Amino acid sequence: MPAQKTLFICNQCGYETAKWLGRCTACNRFNTLEEKAVRTTPAKIGGASAAFSHSKDASAPTLLRDINLSPTRGQVRKSTGIAELDRVLGGGLVGGSLLLLGGDPGIGKSTLLLQICRHMASEAFPILYISGEESAPQIKLRAKRLDVDPPGLYFLAETDIHAIQDAVKKIKPALLLIDSIQTMRLNELASLPGSVTQVRECTAFFTQLAKAHHTAVLLVGHVTKEGAIAGPRVLEHMVDCVLYFEGEGRDSYRVIRAVKNRFGSTHEIGVFEMGEKGLTVIADPSAYMLAGRPVGVPGSAVTCSLEGSRPLLLEVQGLVSHTHFGTPRRTANGMDYNRMVMLMAVLEKRAGYKLATYDSYVNVAGGLRIEEPAADAAILAAIASCYRNKAIDPAYLILGEVGLAGELRAINQPERRITEAARQGFTACVVPQANKKNIKPPQGVRIFGAAHIGELLGLLL
């Protein structure tokens, strides 16, 4: 076992001391000393410690073209057996990589882990599931309910990192699941499990473990109430891939989003539904998101957002009603508040809508969050439609970014979005004029170009 000691290091000037001080004696700043575990002898985890030992060979630069990708180290991908998850990961799990799965407590992270095991675990691909939160009988019960009983799945209820290291040496898993990183502890540190120091040091330890044994490690991290503190965010820079599990607690759908991926693209999403038998893939998310859409009601508009390689149809709802207070209320649900306020200002100034005496609400149905400016035109149209009390034809898809002068600006990949809408039975689409000439419309879809929001609203209302 490597000998470790604890040091306090100033995060401003790098000053080291063996004991905690409120004020750094070197730079005189307050509260800058951070606890750190320091290894006093070179680490030796398993047999393959060369990957991070400080031998001469390891630190000598090599020509990039001379580096061989050995089959165990290179980007060998293995399917998780869950197609949606594979796509988010960029084609499967990369051997020896470190993943972080973040999400609110109770969103379904542990459920997903077990479902990954169902397909992946085998004698040739052993998986070690470590839980610091649940006991073996609890996990067994859940596994039974989910019908998960693969060969090669080992379980250990443990929080001590060194005990986990011993188990890894014994079982040599191809994949190590840690549920959750906030319950793990390195005994050399005085601070409590879940503190920033513990969480960081434990992650660093798992990184070395992953490299030494060519084991992929999946860390579960709870998003804590305090937000960033000791939650998954403090670890994002230390891992290869960060996945976030999102969803509204009361809704059954769940979205997995990659926010960082060293082996694939980010912003891919996988859509699931949480049901009695755990998580099931939603094969057609656009249809799912539009289900129950009110037809012929003012204030509803449909746009298409690109989530990674996937186009997703979303319904935007707008509501305006006379305010009873001096200052009107503005509420944005599922989009950036400032963007909503900006769009309303454009509507007021460039199209003459008098919104100052109205409370206004924007909601993205289904609980997803719109991040793309390509949805601007639909948001604006939903508000205008409610204000004018005129419904937008439900066969229309609305695309376009809105500028401060009221101009509709070009968006990327309009054809992919329109094709998705055509698949869902939409027969017309309004796009920015600049996009129109380059679009070959799918059969049965009419394309209208608009250069300004005045033209857009004229077409729709």
Shortest reach from residue 245's CB to ligand TYD, in Å:
7
Q: State which H helix or E strand residue 129 sits in.
A: strand 127-131
- 125-164 footprint of ligand TYD as x/- string (CB under 6 A): -----------------x--xx------------------
Q: Answer yes or no whether residue 274 interacts with ligand TYD by CB under 6 A.
A: yes
Q: Which is nearer to ligand TYD, 121 or 279 (CB)?
A: 279
Q: Answer yes or no whether residue 278 interacts with ligand TYD by CB under 6 A.
A: yes
- Three-state DSSP at 411 gives coil
**Contact assessment for residue 431 and residue 414, using Cβ atoms and an 8 Å cutoff:** yes
Determine the size of the site formed for ligand TYD (CB under 6 A). 15
Q: Give the interface segment with ligand TYD, choosing from 5-13, 102-110, 162-170, 377-385 (CB under 6 A).
A: 102-110
Which parts of 46-65 interact with Mg ion (CB under 5 A)?
A: none
DSSP H helices, 253-367, are 285-290, 337-351
Q: Which is nearer to ligand TYD, 34 or 133 (CB)?
A: 133
CB-neighbour burial class of residue 196 (10 A; exposed 0-12, middle 13-18, buried 19+): middle
Shortest reach from residue 121's CB to ligand TYD, in Å:
17
**Contact assessment for residue 248 and residue 213, using Cβ atoms and an 8 Å cutoff:** no
Q: DSSP character for 26?
A: T
Which of ligand TYD, Mg ion, none has residue 107 at its interface (CB below 5 to 8 Å by kind)? Answer: ligand TYD
Dig out the tokens for 441 from the structure. Answer: 């419309």
Q: How far is CA 275 from its chain centroid?
A: 21
Q: Which is nearer to ligand TYD, 96 or 108 (CB)?
A: 108
Q: Answer yes or no whether residue 110 interacts with Mg ion by CB under 5 A.
A: yes
Q: DSSP character for 128?
A: E
Which of ligand TYD, Mg ion, none has residue 66 at its interface (CB below 5 to 8 Å by kind)? Answer: none
Through-space distance between the first and last CA atoms of the chain, rounded to whole angstroms: 72
- 68-107 footprint of Mg ion as x/- string (CB under 5 A): ----------------------------------------
Q: Which is nearer to ligand TYD, 241 or 316 (CB)?
A: 241
- Three-state DSSP at 212 gives helix
CA distances from 399 to 142, 374, 408 (A): 44, 6, 9
Residues that bind Mg ion (CB under 5 A): 110
